[in-house]
Amino acid sequence: MSPPKYVDLMVLAAALAVFLLGGLPMLGFAAAAAAWLAQRGIQTLAARHASRELAAGERQRAMATIATTTLGRVWLMATAVLLVGLAEREAGLAAGVLVAVLFTVSIAAQGIAHLFEEPEAGKA
């Protein structure tokens, strides 16, 4: 059984409870959650676009799409944390920790999902 595709979103939902019960700055949660959901949308659109390019035989364009959007998503998250940190220092720290946890969970889930993927026909 592969891990849930949306495990990072489940962690984000659980983080809301932690922020509420722990009295952590909700500005930090709101900024991190908004930026995370935006980057997830960008990731989904980029993956669809790259799949279409691969199907058309445009491997370099597909890789460029993935590379560009990956860097853009990281910059989006870093900018959100920086801006909220400038507005309120503790909220920035809370947002930064939440984003780090979400990235860690997301990357780990993607790696585990890759291990459980069925190989495509014709590939070893």
Give residue-wise pLDDT tens across range 7-54: 999 999 999 999 999 999 999 999 999 999 999 999 999 999 999 999
Tell me which residue has tokens 């459980």: 116
Q: How far is CA 93 from CA 32, 45, 61, 74, 103, in A?
A: 11, 29, 37, 17, 15
Under the banding of pLDDT at 50, 70 and 90, the label for residue 80 is: very high
Q: What is the pLDDT of residue 123?
A: 53
pTM beyond 0.75: the answer is yes
Under the banding of pLDDT at 50, 70 and 90, the label for residue 121 is: low
Which phi and psi angles does 23 have, rounded to 5°?
Answer: 65, 30
Q: How far apart are CA 117 and CA 123, in angstroms?
A: 12
Tell me which residue has tokens 């069925």: 118
Polymer length in residues for the chain: 124
